[in-house]
Structure 1
Amino acid sequence: MKKMLIWIIMQFLYRGMKVLYHEDKRMKEEFDGWNKDKVIQLRVNHGPSITIAYAYLKGLSKVHRHPDIVITFKSIDTALMVFTGQMSVKQAYLEHRFSLKGDVFESMRFVRCVDLTETYLFPRFMTKRIFNHYEKKYKPSLWIYLKAILTL
């Protein structure tokens, strides 16, 4: 059951990021800051994974290619805590709850995009608990949810 929930959340996180790439200039600036294509994989030991490709100035898509950056959560429970807003990515990193393969500097861009996406997808009481700052929303969360649900 936990694996299925994590897989669903990963899909929604991807869709939210894809929508926000076009709807929020901060997301676009973060990804476009790479200046070249990247493939990022989020995965859970003995659990689901998602591989996302970023194409410069084009946006995001799901792929099945060798990743440049791999973020691997060490347990299903940790991934669930991060993906449901019970723990920030920063806290999980500080507690060594995931491993990172690839360039740390480049992966921080991706983490900032995850944080921004969570700002839109989570209610404010959750984001106040996991982030020490509040990002302004330029579009209503409901708009992002609807576009994410309708985006293929």
Structure 2
Amino acid sequence: MGMTVGTEAEEGAMMAEINTTPLVDVMLVLLIIFLITVPVVIQVVPVQLPKVSSVPTTTKPENVPLSVDANCDIFWGLTRLDGPEALRERGGAYLLAEVEKQKARGAKIELPEAHIRADANTEYRCVGGAIFALQRAGYQKIGFISEPPVGAVTR
């Protein structure tokens, strides 16, 4: 509590000063309570992260094996192609030949898949260019071949 000491003439006058010490004390207590309770209120939501597993790819003879190296060179099997445009032309011709072959046999037409294996240091634009060229050639399924993490169990 505050106490004002003054002259007897001022005793009847109103006091114009506000004692802020109790206000500061209350604010500090509230701040401490807030700092203690906030970490308790914020809870961590349990999240189930997906397990990493790899499934061996069933390689069909008609599937297209592609490789993209760190220099953006595209390889069809072991043959180096001269860029995405050459990939589009060769991929379109191969796709058309496979469809004609399946029609001649009278079998249900299943389009071949393209499997891309890219170097770890390859820029995304190189792989993206190969994917775009294959899409323009008419491929419906394009997959990525990767190595599973060390010690991973395959099913």
TM-score by length of 1: 0.26
Asked which structure has the greater CA Rg, the reply is: 2
Which one has a larger percent helix, Structure 1 or Structure 2? Answer: 1
Which one has a larger percent strand, Structure 1 or Structure 2? Answer: 1
